[in-house]
Amino acid sequence: DAKTTQPPSMDCAEGRAANLPCNHSTISGNEYVYWYRQIHSQGPQYIIHGLKNNETNEMASLIITEDRKSSTLILPHATLRDTAVYYCIVRVVRTSYDKVIFGPGTSLSVIP
């Protein structure tokens, strides 16, 4: 199954861009990369996902390398409310198998 690796923690100054990296070197060609975040013990919140192309929405941008072995989540102007644990995951789908496996994530601290 495709696994992801992320740095355990990062800091970012308020107002600056936060760039969170993720490695998923075993990803298959039709598997999507998803990003979620979790604030305290709330349910994980969906941020963005992509397959091959870069994606942008109102929350963030997702940059996926051409070989799809890594990606970067960009929060363009980080605020204190973006302090959270960020998870990069791959949804693994087979004929009778559909698993979403979370890694330990990156704890992002936005500093005033």
Residue ranges that bind another protein, judged by CB under 8 A: 30-32, 34, 36, 41-46, 49, 51, 87, 91, 93, 96-105
Q: How far is the CB of 22 from another protein (least distance, A)?
A: 14
Q: What is the DSSP string of 20-70?
A: EEEE-TT--TTPPEEEEEE-TTSPPEEEEEESSS-EE-SS-EEEE-TTSSE
Q: How far is the CB of 68 from another protein (least distance, A)?
A: 14
Task: Please give the Cα distance from 11 to 111 (Å, whole number).
Answer: 7
The 3-state DSSP composition of the chain as helix, strand, coil percent (nearest 5) reads 5, 50, 45
Nearer to another protein, 77 or 99 (CB): 99
Nearer to another protein, 30 or 81 (CB): 30
Nearer to another protein, 58 or 98 (CB): 98
Q: How far is the CB of 19 from another protein (least distance, A)?
A: 21
> How many residues in the chain?
112
Nearer to another protein, 94 or 112 (CB): 94
Task: Please give the Cα distance from 31 to 65 (Å, whole number).
Answer: 14
Q: How far is the CB of 14 from another protein (least distance, A)?
A: 27
